[in-house]
A and B are shown apart, each in its own frame.
Chain A
């Protein structure tokens, strides 16, 4: 069974600085997706960035980028130029894929709470 581990329950970063959130996963599949979701205090979960396992190039979305190490099963999120609005709970997620059944399910980590200090 696949698992997703976020070993940092809480992180702090100074405004305008850079922070990296860690995520490791375990799977025997070769094809899958990885995601980072952001859940602000208002509770609406939004997608920050996604990475297809078959792509070697790390995904980037403005100030957000990932370091995807497939062999090490590591998927960290780097937030550059941190802003107060980045304060939220961040979840790493794995989307399995079962080609024979055509179904999938998401597996989430336990989350990392990011605090941004002014």
Chain B
């Protein structure tokens, strides 16, 4: 079974631009979560999608948005990029969402550099 895939793996943008990152979960997984990883902050939760609905959201500005498609693939969009948005963006998928424990499986990440 293929793992979580993220595209692109590397991205360089300039301030003010917008960017879209993509995540394909493991086949059969319906929950996708997004994280921002920076050296000083560790991993910070952005949001989680399940069945095309945002189920949970972290403390990020509205410039960060996402969506999920009917095939469970998810996209994350960042508008009006700032230098501080430079980070590794990780996607994680799990079978379902809710009170029961479902292991998260992480993708390799997309390294975003904002110049």
Interface size class of A (residues with CB under 8 A): 20 to 34
Contact stretch, chosen from A59-67, A70-78, A95-103: A95-103
Asked if B88 lies at the interface with its beta carbon under 8 angstroms from chain A, I say yes
Which chain A residue shows the least CB distance to B3?
Answer: A44
Select one of A47, A110, A111 contacting B103, CB under 8 A: A47
Chain A CB within 8 A of B97 CB:
yes
A106 in contact with B106 (CB, 8 Å): no
A110 and B40 within 8 A (CB): yes
Beyond the given A91-B43, A93-B43, please list 7 additional residue pairs across the A-B interface where CB-CB is below 8 A.
A44-B3, A47-B104, A102-B97, A104-B56, A105-B45, A108-B44, A110-B41
Q: List 25 A-B contacts (CB under 8 A).
A: A33-B101, A37-B106, A43-B108, A44-B3, A44-B106, A44-B107, A45-B90, A46-B106, A47-B103, A47-B104, A50-B101, A50-B103, A91-B42, A91-B43, A93-B43, A99-B99, A102-B97, A103-B55, A103-B98, A105-B45, A105-B56, A106-B33, A106-B35, A106-B45, A108-B42
Chain B positions within 8 Å of A, measured between CB atoms, are: 3, 33, 35, 40-45, 48, 55-56, 58, 88, 90, 92, 97-99, 101, 103-104, 106-109
